[in-house]
Amino acid sequence: MDPTKIAPPRTVGFWGTSLFPLNGMIGAGIFALPAVLVAAVGNFAPWMMLVGGILFLPLALCYAWMATRFEHSGGSVLYGEAAFGRFVGFQAGWARYASAIVTAAANMHVMVAYLAALFPELAGPVASPVAVAVGLALITAINLYGMRASVGALGVMTAIKLLPLGALILSAFFAGGEMGAVTLPQFSQVETVILLTFYAFIGFEGVVEAAGEFKHPKRDVPLSIVTMVSGVTLLYMAIIWAFIAIGPQFAGEDNALAGVAGASMGQIGSLAIVVAASFSIGANNFASGVAQPRLMYGMAERGMLPRWFEYVHPRFLTPFNAILFYGVAAMLFGLWEGFEVLAIAGTLVRLVTYVVTSCALPVLEHREGRIDPLHLFCVVFAVASSLFIAAQAQTQSWLVFGGLLVVGTLLYFIAARQKPEYPLDEA
């Protein structure tokens, strides 16, 4: 590695690291999924969430074990390259990044829609896309300023979204409602709903993409993944319990959690949930806005993208060009009304990176002479669950994914001709 090169400093400790998987998982879903689960399986819903968390844990463990091997930014890019070569590593990074840009625009549209409930003028045909662009520009500006500023802003947004949820859980103790006897649902109901519970955890993997700016990535990233997946499972269970105790009659309604909060805490409670939902989606977007440019930076370090993406601002010590590119691209998609067609492939693309990461673990262990049986069990389970979810995707999603794959292949042969800045065995 060039000793004169400016590199982003390692400034983020464990709690800052944990903000990334936490906000990757908790976005809009926690405000909608409780009502959906209660409507589907009744008062078994909290336990359904526990089942989903347990079934998702093998995938999280695969990421945690892989994270102990690498300390640079890039995540699945590094894992895929180490196990299967540069082409697979590039495709894992490109697909993840392309879907993230479109998802950022889609999420910001949802956030503006929530805020329009408080400020109706934001719902206008001109005001809405402009507000989306302004929101994405603000995220970009804070991110350009420095990782410390980004983590600080992310911490504030996390507190704003979690405090109303905590108040809702606390209010359930005084609601006087009862859970009643737990009734086991039919197997066919469980099979359908497990798919929903998986979506509650998708997004945790963003933490591995920014590992190059964490103080102790090989220790903190795996610990944050396991801690936050477990914590989010318990939080979902508590929110669903509160939903049932306060107002199960709201199940199936739009913005049902706000209705439940209104029933237990009055209008101010309902307002707090709307604000929390807005900031929850914003924090989810913000975490992605921090992690994804670091993914591009990591790909540039590996010689998979032009060195332009590797430029670090000498004052702010951030990957300036990568952040700016991500922000501008997301804003352009936010201003374009037809981007929804691309957004549907986002989850499918993530599942591909899940499979690549999971399969990389036994490949690397085999080269070292021993495959851990527990690791292999988790890999098989993670791959099987990912393929099961991918099988539910519509034809349109696969067509969009195929298009992204073709574009990524072209970019690979154009850009990925440079030498890596460091050998993977130095990771």
| pLDDT for 338 | 47
Are 77 and 302 in contact by the 8 Å Cβ rule? The answer is: yes
pLDDT band at 225 (very low <50, low <70, confident <90, very high): very high
What average pLDDT does this structure show over 326-345?
68
Which two structure tokens, joined as six digits, stand for 184?
């086991």
pLDDT band at 373 (very low <50, low <70, confident <90, very high): very high
Angle at 146 between CA 280 and CA 29, to 5 degrees: 15
Domain ranges of the chain: 14-426
Give the residues across from 214 on adjacent strands.
Answer: 12
Tell me the backbone φ, ψ of residue 371, rounded to 5 degrees.
-100, 125
Please spell the DSSP secondary structure of 60-77, one letter per residue: HHHHHHHHTT--STTTHH
pLDDT digits (tens, 9 = 90+) for 274-333: 889 889 988 988 999 999 999 999 998 888 888 888 999 999 899 999 999 999 988 887
Are 261 and 273 in contact by the 8 Å Cβ rule? The answer is: yes
Q: Indicate the pTM of the whole model.
A: 0.88
pLDDT digits (tens, 9 = 90+) for 416-425: 667 787 777 6
Please give the Cα distance from 93 to 97 (Å, whole number): 6
Q: Which CATH class is domain 14-426?
A: mainly alpha
